[in-house]
Copies of this chain bind each other. A is one copy, B any other.
Amino acid sequence: MPMLRKAPALHRAVIHLNDAAPEKIQTALQNTANLLAALGPETQVELVAHGPGIAVATDPATEEFTAQLTGLLAAGVALCVCQNTMTARRLTPTDIHPQAVVVASGVAHLVTRQTEGWSYLHP
Chain B CB within 8 A of A114 CB:
yes
A contact residues, total (Cβ < 8 Å): 30
Q: Which among B27, B104, B120, B121 is the interface contact of A119 at CB below 8 angstroms?
A: B120
As a 0/1 sequence over residues 100 to 122 of chain A, the CB contacts with chain B under 8 angstroms (1 = contact) are 00001101101110110101111
Rounded to whole Å, the gap between the CB of A117 and the closest CB of chain B is 8
Q: How many copies does the complex hold?
A: 3
As a 0/1 sequence over residues 45 to 64 of chain A, the CB contacts with chain B under 8 angstroms (1 = contact) are 00000010000000000000
The answer to whether residues A122 and B51 also contact, given A107-B34, A115-B9 and a CB cut-off of 8 A, is no
For the complex of A and B, list the 8 residue pairs with the smallest distance between their C-beta atoms, beginning with the closest.
Answer: A38-B108, A114-B119, A38-B105, A111-B119, A122-B122, A13-B111, A31-B107, A35-B107
